[in-house]
Amino acid sequence: MSVLNTSRGDTRRGAGRGAARPPVPRKSFSAWANRHRKWLFAAPAMIFVGVLIVFPLAWTLYLSLTDSQGSVRAATEFIGLENYVTVLSDVERFWPAVGRTLSFTGVALACEVVLGMGIALLLWRPFRGEKWVRVAILLPLVATPVAVGMMWRLIFDPNIGFVNQLLGMIGIPPQPWLSGQDTALGTTIFMDIWQWTPMVVLILLAGLTSLSEEPDEAARMDGANAFQRFFFITLPLMMPTVIVAILLRGIDALKTFDILYATKGKGGGSFHEVETLNVYAYGLSFDYNQYGLSSAVLILFFMIIIGTMWLLTMRKKAVSK
């Protein structure tokens, strides 16, 4: 907000000064514009950031300090950090949701990066039919997450689903998958991996193709085997790209909402078995209409994301050095 304020203040002050000089107005405007061009050119971006990012964030922060509920237009009272105390001491919904958010992200991300690296290495060298394989691998990426959720929901249906029919053929008893209290989160992680590994492949493949061949060739001359070449040459060189992939995919995975909502609905199932922070905040605000509490959860969630990002960027800097 303050950024917006100074920029506006300055431009207006400039305008005032320009208007004070009587002669030709058009000339004075271009002179003024020229003098303030750094503000003028940056203004659209600054207004955009102010209106679409800073304002909503500041508003959420404000709401999180009030007892706003029912309707956001209703009278609210400023209650300081009470919402935060309530949220942080809530061991029934909040902390389990934090745990699920982190384990969902951790497991999904680890699998996606390992799998993504494997697939990227396979696709690295040219081979016959390469184009078709690449297209096929990228297909899940372009599907709508809600449609993906519905599709897997049918596939994993405990009674009529394809997976259980398949298991039945080889004599394994039907599994509950999405409807099981202990299996639901794992199943949604699988869906996330299925959909987002291609994105990691894409990023890593871009990194691989930009690597120079020489170090690899030199190692080959020295008699290093494929295993050694990957772990001591390719991977260290790829590290900055890997961290970019982790950063992008990690933030996205933390914020996952659509597939969870599409498969388990409000509250993440009858036992809240897939309720992550995002799903929890949605329920607080759209089902319970407790905007103050919901905002507090979102601010805490935002801090978790910022924290993770900061850690990863630090790591990236260390690697780049």
Partner 1 sequence: MKRRSIVKYAAVAAALSLGLTACGSGGGDAKAAGTVRVTLANHVWTEGIKAAIPEFEKATGLKVELTQLGEDQLSDQYNVKLNAGSDEIDVMMYRPLQEGKAFAKNGYLADLTSKVSADANWDWKDYQEGPVKASTVDGKVVGVPIITEREVLYYRKDLLQAAGVQVPKTMDELEAAAKKIAAANPDTAGFVARTAKSAAVTQFSSFLYSFGGDFTDADGKSAVGSDAAKKAYSFYGGLIKNYGPKNVSTDMSWPEAMAIFTQGKAAFYTEADSLYKNATDPAKSKVADKVGFAALPAGPAGSKPYNIPSWGLAVNNASGNQDNAWKFIQWATSKDRTLAAQKAGVPGPRASVWADPAGTSTYPKDLAEAIATSAKNGVGHDRPQVITVGKAREIVGEPIVASITGADASSAADSANEAFQKFLDSEKK
Q: Could you give phi then psi for residue 24, rounded to 5 degrees? A: -75, 120
Out of 30, 165, 270, 313, the only residue in the binding site for partner 1 (CB under 8 A) is 270
Which of the ranges 115-123, 128-136, 154-162, 199-207 carries the binding residues for partner 1, by CB under 8 A?
A: 154-162
**Contacting range for partner 1; rule: CB under 8 A; set: 97-105, 113-121, 140-148, 284-292:** 284-292
Asked if 181 interacts with partner 1 (CB under 8 A), we say yes
| Residue 168 makes contact with partner 1 by CB under 8 A | no
Among 95, 232, 288, 310, binds partner 1 (CB under 8 A): 288
Nearest distance, CB of residue 270 and partner 1, angstroms: 4
Which residue of 141, 286, 311, 314 would you call a contact of partner 1, by CB under 8 A? 286
Contact region with partner 1 (CB under 8 A), list: 34-42, 67-75, 231-239, 248-256: 67-75
For residue 158, the 8-state DSSP code is T
Q: Which stretch binds partner 1 (CB under 8 A): 26-34, 83-91, 171-179, 294-302?
A: 171-179
Instruction: Out of 3, 12, 235, 306, name the contact with partner 1 by CB under 8 A.
Output: 12
156 close to 177: Cβ distance less than 8 angstroms: yes
CA distances from 73 to 68, 69, 84, 256, 304 (A): 9, 9, 22, 29, 29
Q: Does 271 bind partner 1 (CB under 8 A)?
A: yes
Q: What is the spatial distance between Cα 203 and Cα 205, in angstroms, rounded to a whole number?
A: 6
φ, ψ of residue 70 to 5 degrees: the values are 80, -75
50, amino acid identity: G
For position 209 contacting partner 1 by CB under 8 A, the verdict is no
Q: Which of 18, 116, 250, 269 binds partner 1 (CB under 8 A)?
A: 269
Q: Is 161 helix (H, G, I), strand (E, B) or coil?
A: coil
The yes or no reply on residue 71 touching partner 1 (CB under 8 A) is yes
Q: Using the minimum distance from each CB to partner 1, give the nearer residue, 25 or 70.
A: 70
- 179 binding partner 1? (CB under 8 A): yes
Could you tell me the end-to-end alpha-carbon distance of the chain, in angstroms, rounded to an integer? 35
Residues 98, 291, 84, CA angle at the centre, nearest 5°? Answer: 50
Among 137, 178, 245, 297, binds partner 1 (CB under 8 A): 178
CA 79, 81, 82, 86 torsion: positive or negative? Answer: positive
In the chain, how long is the greatest CA-to-CA distance?
A: 93
By CB under 8 A, is residue 74 in contact with partner 1?
A: yes
- Indicate left, alpha or beta for 20 from its phi (over 0: left) and psi (-120 to 50: alpha): alpha
Among 256, 293, 294, CA closest to 276 = 256
Question: Of the listed pieces 78-86, 110-118, 129-137, 175-183, which binds partner 1 according to CB under 8 A?
Answer: 175-183
Among the candidate windows 95-103, 120-128, 194-202, 283-291, which touches partner 1 by CB under 8 A? 283-291
Instruction: Confirm if 280 and 94 have CB atoms less than 8 A apart.
Output: yes
Q: Interface with partner 1 includes 265 (CB under 8 A)?
A: yes
Alpha-carbon gap, residue 127 to 185, rounded angstroms:
37
> Which chain residues interact with partner 1 by CB under 8 A?
5-6, 8-9, 12, 70-74, 158-160, 164, 174, 176, 178-179, 181, 264-267, 269-271, 285-289
